Chain A
Amino acid sequence: MRFELTPRTNVSPVMRALAPVAAFIVSFLIAGFVIWLMGRSPIAAFEVYVTQPLSDPWSLQELLVKATPLALIAIGLSYCFRANLWNIGAEGQYVIGAVLGSWLALRTHGTEAGLWVLPLMLLLGIIGGALYGLIPAFLKTRFGVNEILTSLMLVYVAQLILDYLVRGPWRDPKGFNFPQSVTFDPSATLPPILEAGRVHYGAVFAATAIVLTAVILGRTLFGYRLKLTGDAPRAARFAGFSSKATTMSVFAISGGLAGLAGISEVSGQIGQLQPSISPGYGFTAITVAFLGRLNPIGILVAALVVALTFIGGESAQIMLKLPLDLTQAFQGILLLCVLAADALVSYRIRFVARGGGK
């Protein structure tokens, strides 16, 4: 016995829309079964993972805080992935954006610098991320170097640059020689949207990026070009679209948005530079982009869902004493189920009996 995947000829939109819902239900059932095996109540776990965080204003806020960098980076990545270009280095672009933006914060620290600091920091963040994203794009278009490898390896370079800066020249002179910069002045701090809240303006940037992307992808020639380059590169060439220009522009966009996420996170959340400024947002965002099927609204939903699993996972540790590994396993199960559901909607499984014939 072996099985074959044959493409379904006409897939109903209803099926497509229901696929992720079914995936969620299946992954919750699997996770619930594991929790039951561990001798805990799956109902209580669902309550702690999903119901409570979604019904409490505090955790709803935290959800937005956590989803913000994920959505910003993932929406950028969707440009690359749509064009079949594999930018795996968003984490590095995030770091370099944060570093370049923070440079201004540290330069103006302790001075009476005014309102211009913050916008310029954000701009530097975008430029830093975009330039860093352009390195693998340049290497690919000029020398044909595989962008997966270069973008990934540049992540480590970026992290080491940050590490060097906070241990060396940018270290807080009054910080007992610990590797961290001074805390940013108020003029260099991205303010919360609501006073005393934790949701900073990064959330607005993410929302704007999502709306703009929806318009660009759906309504502009550039959006069409991406789709064509990804789905039918030969046709794109015949249509006169330069694949080099596409490569450079999508890497710049995706790097720029990752850089914006980086500087927003550092100036809005952390408030200083330190050796680690991301719990792997750049990599998690890859999952988010695919969970959201590279669709702007889908990415928004996916970012919120992934943020929910993080927050719910912490609650589960605190309230139910469920281990962290379970949360990580659950994230994996969820991604697998969504991808499997998509595959099953687009393809039919056929069991083929072995033997006979050739």
Chain B
Amino acid sequence: MLSGKIFGALAGAAVVALAATGAVAQPKDKVKVGFIYVGPVGDHGWSYQHDVGRQAIEKAFPGKVTTTFVESVPEADSERAIEQLARTGHDLIFTTSFGFMEPTLKVAKKYPNIKFEHATGFKRAPNLSTYAAKFHEGRYIIGQIAGKMTKSNTIGYVGAFPIPEVVAGINAFYLGAQSVNPNVKIKIVFANTWYDPAKEGDAAKALLDQGVDMLAQHTDSPAPIQAAEARGKFGFGQASDMERFAPKAQLTAIVDNWSDYYVARTKAVLDGTWKSEDVWGGLASNMVVMTPYKNMPDDVKKLAQDTEAAIRSGTLNPFKCPVIGQDGKEIECKGKGALSDEQVLGMNFYVKGIEDKIPQ
């Protein structure tokens, strides 16, 4: 019995030692970085911006990194693609859609010496980080612009799916609009896709037909803003600068800037300092970037710039308390003077003034 115990203790110590060597990563001369994209790399939105980040890594460490991507990976069938990257010598793997969460977790457990980073999820492990961006900060700014510039007093929003990130974006957009135009109305259509130019365009046209003259979008193709351009209305670029698709209609674009983050994380692997973290960056950390404010009067431009500066410096939070729910009751304020991160990340209610219901 005794020997069994000693053996058990020894085995335990060995496991700890093994785990420790796994955790203390050594600096590396060369790093191979892999990416899994949910859409085509040419979507000019979400996946496109992640690919811009991938190219930034290649530029930042010439000769030291090689990068790979697999595009249009269906979420229900992604485990194999992630494992393919793990098996082909990649040291750092970014999986860039919420739906890759469980498969990434599974593969990360199987390959403890490889670093994984999952965008927009909430499950972490010693070798699995999560990262996301506070796009709602940008959406508050475009909400103010829309609220100021609308003539029909009705603004529109093409959403992808009614998930918390999109709902929080709609609320931030509407709160921004309300802050400069208390009676503004919003119409929302969900396209039920992240990327389908035809469906997104149809949703946009339906909104424009209903008298919307300012169009925000939380889907990835330029189709909605192109629809706005064709009707002589205004819109906002999503994920990347869409000015070349809609030079007259784009007032500004909320750009996902993953480059700085990807370069920093790659450097951490090169230096051997990579640690599992949960990063949620916004305007202040340049993960969210606004393109130049155009096609608008100077006073609106000034307002947008001031708001951007205020959010950047931390004096303004789009979800500052009190936030009033649709039923007129105040939402419990769990953060410091504003809703807590958890409340924003799991947002499942519309704010007062939005007449639609969240589709269930």
Contact = CB atoms under 8 A, between A and B. Distances in A.
Interface of A: 58, 62, 65-66, 163-164, 167-168, 176-179, 183, 198, 265, 269-272, 274-280, 311, 314-315, 317-319, 321, 323-324
Given A66-B80, A167-B360, A318 B102 contact: no
A274 B103 CA distance: 13
Classify chain B's interface size: 20 to 34
A203 B318 CA distance: 52
Given A177-B163, A178-B163, A324 B84 contact: no
B7 interface: no
B85 A318 contact: yes
Contact of B102 (A272, A277, A311): A272
Contacts, number: 71
Given A276-B74, A318-B88, 9 more contacts: A167-B162, A167-B360, A178-B163, A183-B102, A198-B79, A279-B77, A314-B70, A318-B68, A319-B88
Interface of B: 34, 40, 68-72, 74-77, 79-81, 83-85, 87-88, 98-99, 102, 122, 161-164, 192, 345-348, 359-360
A70 B204 CA distance: 37
A65 B122 contact: no
Given A178-B98, A179-B163, A317 B122 contact: no
3 closest cross-chain pairs (CB), A and B:
A279-B74, A176-B346, A168-B360
A91 to B, nearest CB: 12
Contacts of A272: 102
Given A167-B360, A176-B122, A178-B163, A317 B71 contact: yes
A177 B34 contact: no
Contacts of B360: 164, 167-168
A261 B134 CA distance: 40
A178 B120 CA distance: 11
Contacts of A311: 80
A278 to B, nearest CB: 6
Contacts of B346: 176-177
Nearest to B67: A321
Contacts of A265: 76
Contacts of A314: 70, 80-81, 84
A314 B161 CA distance: 28
A277 B103 CA distance: 13
A270 B80 contact: no
Nearest to B89: A318
B85 A324 contact: no
Contact of A65 (B80, B162, B345): B80
A6 B76 CA distance: 46
Contacts of A271: 102
A189 to B, nearest CB: 13
